[in-house]
Amino acid sequence: MNNIDDIKPKADSLESKCPLCNSKGFFSFQGRDFLFDKPETYQYMQCINCAAVYEEPMPTFDEIVRYYPDDYDVYTKIPPLKHFSFSKLGVLHYKYNYTDLNIPWLFRLLSPSIYAFKYCDTIRFIPNGKGLDIGCGNGKFIRDMNSLAWQFEGVEFNPIAVDICRRAGLKVFHGDLHTAEFKDNSFDLVTARHVIEHIPDPTIFMREIARILKKRGRLVIKTPNSNALGRRWFGMHWFANDVPRHLMLFFPTNLKVLTKRFGLCQIAEKTFSKPRIILKSLDYLTGNLGKPYNKRKFFRLLARLYVLLAFISRRGDEVFAIYEKI
Ligand SMILES: [Zn+2]
């Protein structure tokens, strides 16, 4: 196996072009597929203008398809419905317009106090609201949202995942967002959770989302934060790099600028971390093939300290942001 520390950059920074702003980039890091333990290496550049990080050269469609084995991620079975606690449902009712939920009166009464102590980022409910989950996987998120009275459907690339969704009675298009050819102004809410980093041209992707959103419709994005403390600490071993499947890594400001170009206004943004990401990164860094750090109590405790540090410094591993079509 190659020692990836010894490999020199393949691309001349003068030749590379940022997919977001077309500016030049400089070498950022060289990594390999730690998840499936493959030896091939891939190079990433960072834009000198907007600081977006992108794979260079950008892989072709056929190459991208080969990055995803059938057992990638979640495609296994119909997931159970999420259990929402009464305190969470109370906050949804009190603050986010989820007025049709069946909630005990005590939790309705207490919901303003609960909200004051436990702020939960979510989307305000729209009666008869239509939603689209891009890259819906096994459909868990669609089912959870529909249990809150949304009318969600999905788009999914993986045929096994699509089959699982359809067996669960969910409406899912098999393919990518563009081939689905949704009508203009179709959705009140579009969610792209851990999707945009897998897209070779996020500009075309965002234009399509803006087209299918209704006016005042909202977009939710979750994606790795290229400005994360964990990325700084672990470099090429940072779990959320997910080389080579992640084609781009975004600074939060990249997303704000990109969405604004298509008439979407940012209304919320935060970063957050989970112990799992940093402990998986530690597995990669140390080449740990034994018991994962995520399964060791002491390290899970230590990771909570990291989560706190990332929170205080506003450099969490993931970005969560909401945009509205104006
Ligand atoms: Zn750029």
Segment (H or E) for 60: none
46 Cα: distance to centroid of ligand 1 (angstroms): 8
Q: What local confidence, expressed as pLDDT, does residue 108 receive?
A: 74
51 Cα: distance to centroid of ligand 1 (angstroms): 6
Give the Cα separation of 137 and 140 in Å (integer): 8
pTM of the complete model:
0.87
3 state SS of 270: strand
223 Cα: distance to centroid of ligand 1 (angstroms): 17
25 Cα: distance to centroid of ligand 1 (angstroms): 8
Burial track 29-65 (b if 16+ CB lie within 10 A, e otherwise):
bbbbbbbeeeeebbbbbbbeebbbbbbbeebeeeebe
Dump pLDDT digits (tens) for 31-46: 999 998 999 999 999 9
Q: What local confidence, expressed as pLDDT, does residue 73 receive?
A: 62
For residue 32, give the nearest of 12, 53, 7 by alpha carbon: 7
Q: What local confidence, expressed as pLDDT, does residue 75 receive?
A: 55
Q: What local confidence, expressed as pLDDT, does residue 2 receive?
A: 37
Domain boundaries, the chain: 60-325
Segment (H or E) for 290: none
36 Cα: distance to centroid of ligand 1 (angstroms): 30
67 Cα: distance to centroid of ligand 1 (angstroms): 25
29 Cα: distance to centroid of ligand 1 (angstroms): 16
Quote the CATH superfamily of domain 60-325: Vaccinia Virus protein VP39 (3.40.50.150)
pLDDT in tens, the chain (326 residues): 333 343 344 444 456 799 999 999 999 999 999 998 999 999 999 999 999 999 999 999 999 988 987 666 655 667 777 777 777 777 777 778 887 777 777 777 777 777 666 656 678 888 889 999 999 998 999 999 998 889 999 999 888 889 999 999 999 999 999 999 999 999 999 999 999 999 999 999 999 999 999 999 999 999 999 999 999 999 999 999 999 999 999 999 999 999 999 999 999 999 999 999 999 999 999 998 888 888 899 999 999 999 999 999 989 999 999 999 99
106 Cα: distance to centroid of ligand 1 (angstroms): 51
126 Cα: distance to centroid of ligand 1 (angstroms): 36
Dump pLDDT digits (tens) for 243-276: 999 999 999 999 999 999 999 999 999 999 999 9
Q: How many helices (H) and strands (E) does the chain have?
A: 11, 11
In the sheet with 213-224, reading across from the earlier edge strand, the strands are 172-174, 151-156, 130-134, 187-193, 213-224, 318-325, 264-272
